[in-house]
């Protein structure tokens, strides 16, 4: 049998080993805790540095373009003929096409998206909501090139059956299809905003004698207005940045017109056209790609800043 001293020494050894292991574990945890902020900062810095790199590239190439083309001619010109013998680089036709297509898309997606969100949030049962919302979001998973061919091969011929004067490529058809594509985004985000409104507000309004419809439009929607505005902003940004649908269905005519039955070109479609290989590197038309991209970037940035201000203002009020 082991003596008491041997047993005590064995226990002491076990205690020392446990203490050493605990110290090692604590040291590892301290190192890990110190490394986590560094890792998170590095990940955050990557996105910031990427943004800075993109803006720097756009600025340098845009400045090179404006050394060759006056900035006033670029932003006030209504003619865009980059491949002609006497090229002109007016960006207004592209801005016009972008705004019109996005406006048509929001005319479709806005009302349908909001009404869908109202139904899912206020009127649909839990079972119906669990069924319809995933089905609705399937639309967001369809590739945009599929939407583009759908607009060109189905929607445009259908419109021309009703209105024969509509051109084979026009801005109306892609605008409508973009609206369908944006519906899930607006509906889903708006429904989330409405669902987050406390039930006590609904119950209080109902207790005061309000109808279900009055509660929805006079209580729930104003309370969720900041989230609804955010969904509209994302929808508009999605429409402005859409490329494949307008490239396929709206054509490449650089018309400065407000006739939605005619072919127009958006800023994104122009970037696709120029980057397709027709413009040699270092040429004026090549640098125009970056000038248009910078215009699109600034346009979207200003819109998002304005929407953020409006969203914050409504959040403070409600």
Digit-coded pLDDT (tens) for 114-153: 999 998 888 888 888 888 888 887 877 888 889 989 998 9
Instruction: Copy the structure tokens of residue 105.
Output: 């898309």
CA distance to 77, 92, 148, 180, per residue, from 140 (Å) = 36, 30, 14, 9
- pLDDT of the residue at 100: 92
CB 273 within 8 A of CB 286: no
Alpha-carbon span 66 to 91, nearest angstrom:
13
> Which residues of the chain are under the pLDDT cut of 70?
1-27, 31, 277-279, 311, 313-318
Query: pTM for the full model?
Result: 0.81
- pLDDT of the residue at 11: 62
* pLDDT tens profile 54-83: 888 889 889 988 888 888 888 888 888 887
- pLDDT of the residue at 10: 57
- pLDDT of the residue at 111: 92
| β partners of residue 89 | 80
Instruction: Copy the structure tokens of residue 66.
Output: 């404006």
- pLDDT of the residue at 277: 64
Half-sphere exposure of 284 (CA within 13 A, CB side): 17
Alpha-carbon span 220 to 299, nearest angstrom:
32
């Amino acid at each position: 049998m082991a003596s008491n001293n041997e047993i005590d020494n064995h226990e002491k050894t076990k205690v020392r080993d446990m203490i050493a292991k605990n110290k090692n574990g604590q040291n590892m945890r301290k190192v890990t805790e110190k490394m986590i902020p560094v890792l998170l900062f590095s990940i955050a810095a990557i996105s910031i540095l990427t943004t800075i790199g993109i803006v720097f590239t756009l600025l340098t190439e845009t400045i090179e373009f404006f050394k060759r083309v006056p900035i006033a001619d670029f932003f006030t010109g209504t003619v865009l003929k980059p491949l002609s013998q006497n090229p002109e680089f007016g960006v207004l036709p592209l801005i016009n096409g972008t705004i019109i297509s996005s406006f048509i898309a929001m005319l479709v997606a806005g009302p349908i998206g909001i009404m869908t969100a109202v139904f899912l949030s206020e009127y649909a049962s839990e079972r119906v909501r669990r069924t319809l919302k995933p089905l609705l979001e399937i639309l967001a998973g369809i590739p945009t090139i599929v939407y583009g061919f759908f607009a060109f091969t189905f929607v445009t011929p259908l419109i021309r059956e009703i209105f024969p004067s509509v051109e084979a490529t026009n801005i109306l058809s892609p605008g409508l299809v973009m609206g369908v594509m944006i519906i899930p985004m607006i509906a889903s985000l708006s429904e989330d905003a409405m669902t987050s409104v406390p039930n006590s507000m609904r119950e209080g309004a109902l207790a005061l004698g309000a109808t279900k419809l009055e509660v929805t439009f006079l209580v729930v929607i104003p309370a969720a207005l900041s989230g609804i505005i955010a969904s509209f902003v994302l929808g508009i940004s999605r429409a402005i940045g859409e490329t494949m649908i307008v490239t396929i269905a709206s054509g490449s005519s650089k018309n400065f017109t407000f006739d939605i039955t005619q072919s127009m070109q958006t800023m994104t479609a122009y970037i696709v056209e120029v980057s397709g290989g027709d413009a040699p590197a270092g040429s004026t038309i090549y640098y125009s790609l970056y000038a248009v991209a910078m215009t699109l970037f600034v346009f979207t940035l200003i819109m998002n800043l304005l929407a953020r201000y409006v969203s914050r203002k409504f959040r403070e009020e409600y």
